[in-house]
Amino acid sequence: MPLYAESSAVLRWLFNEERGDEVFRLLRTADKVTCSRLTLVECRRVISRAGAGAGLSEKDAAGLRGVLAQAASRWAILEVTSEVARRAEERFPAEPLRTLDALHLASALVLNEAAPGLAVLTTDDRIRSNAVQLGFSTLPEG
C-alpha cells in the first residue's frame, strides 16, 4: 500500500517515541512512501530545536538529520504547489484545522487524485480525523 508520511509519524520514529517502531515498520514495508516537502521541513526544524538546548546533543541531532536524509532519498517528495495551497485554503470536515495540517491533508488529496489508494501515516488525531472523513485509510491503526 502506498503511504503519505505526515510529520507527526516520522518524528515519532526518528525520536524513538511510542509507536515509533510501528511507524518504522510501515515506512519500511510500504509499496511507496510519499511526503510533502513540508514533512521534511517540519522534521528538520524539530531536530534543530531539540539540538538547540532542548536536550539533544549536536552529534545526536546530526545523526537524526542523516537518518531522515537517508530515508527521504527513497521517498517521493511533493512540493507545496499552488494546487496544494488552494486546496489547503478550503474547508475540511473537522474544523478548526491548523495551517500546516491543512497543507498535509491537501497534499494527500492531490497525491490521491494521481494515484488512488493512498493511506495516510499519521499519529496526529486532527489529521487522522480529517483523513478518515476524506475517505483515506490511516495508519498506524488505532
Task: Flag whether pLDDT at 142 surpasses 90.
Answer: no
Number of domains forming the structure of the chain: 1
Domain coverage including residue 26: 2-139
The per-residue pLDDT for 92 is 98
Please tell me the distance from the alpha carbon of residue 18 to that of residue 109, in angstroms, as a whole number: 27
Which residue stretches of 3-98 are H helix?
A: 7-14, 20-29, 37-51, 58-72, 82-89
CATH code at 61?
3.40.50.1010
For the stretch 8-65, pLDDT in tens is 999 999 999 999 999 999 999 999 999 999 999 999 999 998 877 767 888 999 999 9
The per-residue pLDDT for 55 is 78
Whole-model pTM: value is: 0.94
For the stretch 120-135, pLDDT in tens is 999 999 999 999 999 9
